[in-house]
Structure 1
Amino acid sequence: MPKIVSSSTVSSSEQTNGRPEQHLHVYYCLCSEFILVIDAKLDRLPRRKTDNAYIISNGKRIYKLNAIEPSNNPIVLKRPQGHEKQYRLHCPRCNLFIAYEVTPKRKSGAFTYIVEGSLTDNQGVVPADAIDEDDNKKTDQS
């Protein structure tokens, strides 16, 4: 009988090669669907001034974004500097708006933007920034 040789490799975000910045960080949608694995913590990424979204530099960061594009039609928003086209990305399970780009083809632009409060690093736990406290105060006082 011929010899059968097999091997396997186990990978974990807990494994490091001595440098903590080489960790992979996993993020989930509020519905617990796996959405993002990236080489940096979201809270360490720069933020966009217009909407406080996390900025992922497509040239610098290594990441995998599990999201769908419900349509290839952009949403046009009025900004103080003019208009902005957003190609929105949604959770494949619950269709929550989680990210956007300003170019029609994924990762073809300089940045991908992650919407504040749309992801959590603890599966099944809603992050504190997912709920806008100012909106709740306005409705309580009405």
Structure 2
Amino acid sequence: MPKIVSSSTVSSSNFDENQNDQRQKLQIYYCLCSEFLMVIDAELQLLPRRKSDNAIIVDNRQRTYKLNAEPKQPVILKRRDGFEKQYRYHCPRCELFIAYEMKEERKSDHYTYIVDAALTDVQGIAPPSALLEPTEVK
């Protein structure tokens, strides 16, 4: 009976161009303190905005993303047409308020809202809108 002297495994990676294109479409966002916070399959500037506070609307049914943020206690806000309960997410490093949802469990609601000017796509540089005076949205 013959003896097996050695065994070898052949491994190769064969990336499709489509896979590479999908990786390039991912957008990375940082907190103003330079902490990595979000990777998403769309540019935040192109997503719709909420009229009440100009927050960026991320549709949890259409978008794929990961948000690296710590939840805090819910906050109840008085709005023109009643009250709104927000489950807020904060930067784990500097605790800046960056996002919120309307339900307690992450991504259990249809939308996640990203606070206007809380994230930047260039690490260490604040977006221009973060330096503007806040305006009251009516």
TM-score (structure 2 length as normaliser): 0.82
Structure 1 stretch 22-31 or stretch 121-130: which is displaced more?
Answer: 22-31
What's the counterpart of residue 138 of structure 1? none
What's the counterpart of residue 8 of structure 2? 3
What's the counterpart of residue 63 of structure 1? 65
Runs of 4+ in 1 over 6 A off after TM superposition: none
Tell whether 2:93 aligns with 1:90. no
- SS for the counterpart of 1:84 is strand
Give distance in 2, aligned partners of 1:134 and 1:57.
25
Give distance in 2, aligned partners of 1:9 and 1:49.
46
Tell whether 2:44 aligns with 1:42. yes
- SS for the counterpart of 1:122 is coil
Deviation at 1:62, TM superposition (A): 0.8
Give distance in 2, aligned partners of 1:104 and 1:37.
21
Using a 3 Å threshold, how does the CA distance of structure 1 residues 9 and 43 change in structure 2: closer, same or farther? farther
TM-score (structure 1 length as normaliser): 0.80
Deviation at 1:16, TM superposition (A): 1.5
- What are the superposed Cα offsets for residues 34-56 of structure 1, whole Å, 9 maximum, x if unpaired? 11111110010000000000000
Give the fraction of aligned pairs with identical amino acids, expressed as a percent.
57
The structure whose Rg is larger is: 2
Using a 3 Å threshold, how does the CA distance of structure 1 residues 8 and 31 change in structure 2: closer, same or farther? farther
Q: Where do 5+ consecutive residues of structure 1 fail to align?
A: 136-142
Deviation at 1:8, TM superposition (A): 6.4
Deviation at 1:130, TM superposition (A): 1.1
Tell whether 2:103 aligns with 1:103. yes
Q: Write the mapping of 1:19-34 to structure 2, written as runs, cut at 5 A.
A: 23-34=25-36
Using a 3 Å threshold, how does the CA distance of structure 1 residues 103 and 123 change in structure 2: closer, same or farther? same
Q: Where do 5+ consecutive residues of structure 2 fail to align?
A: 1-5
Give distance in 1, aligned partners of 2:53 and 2:100.
12
